Amino acid sequence: GQRHAVLDTNVRRVLARAVMGVQYPPNATTAAERKLARALLPADDDTAAKWAAASMELGALVCTAKNEECHRCPIAAQCAWQQAGKPAHDGPPRRAQTYAGTDRQVRGRLLAVLREAVSPVPQAVLDRVWEEPVQRARALDGLVDDGLVEPLAGGLYRLPVG
């Protein structure tokens, strides 16, 4: 995968808390967030791809929007939000974000299949993850472009190795 800063909603929340010391990021992605994400991105492609996947997972599973599990967080000791006493959000009201049926949901399902696999996954298996083929292909292409999934010969896919 290529070196690319990923700023999905989960990564933005992790950066907001861990680095900026606030509970939630702004409603819209800012230039400052993009600059921060690029600054934190490891220099080599393989490590950058792992960083992207790890930061997405951290936000999705531990540093969640409603029920964060700081006791499980590997960076809790360095978290600016935690060190500030976990102050409540004082910005504009957060807009409700739809999840069901979004590309984000498709990406999550594709990543879940690949995470659980012990060997590369055939395209046909990934095709069963989501009924709508155009959206599924767009989500898979996006994961490849973001360096989170590696396409292999023979229509196989896997998470980046190494």
Which CATH number covers residue 137? 1.10.10
Domain assignment of residue 37, yes or no: yes
Are 78 and 132 in a shared domain?
no
pLDDT by 10-residue block (mean), the chain, 162 residues: 81 96 91 93 90 91 92 96 93 72 90 94 95 93 92 95 76
3-class SS at 47?
Answer: helix
pLDDT recorded at residue 2:
63
pLDDT recorded at residue 24:
93
Structural domain total, the chain: 2
Are 108 and 60 in a shared domain?
no
Domain assignment of residue 93, yes or no: no
Q: Are 95 and 130 in contact, with CB atoms under 8 Å apart? A: no
Cα separation, 116 vs 10, whole angstroms: 21
pLDDT recorded at residue 14:
97
Domain assignment of residue 34, yes or no: yes
Q: Are 50 and 150 in contact, with CB atoms under 8 Å apart? A: no
Q: Are 21 and 81 in contact, with CB atoms under 8 Å apart? A: yes
pLDDT recorded at residue 96:
64
Q: Calculate the CA dihedral of residues 81, 84, 86, 91 and round it to 10 degrees.
A: -80
Question: Residue 54 is part of which domain span?
Answer: 9-83
The per-type count for the chain, helices as H runs and strands as E runs, is 7, 3
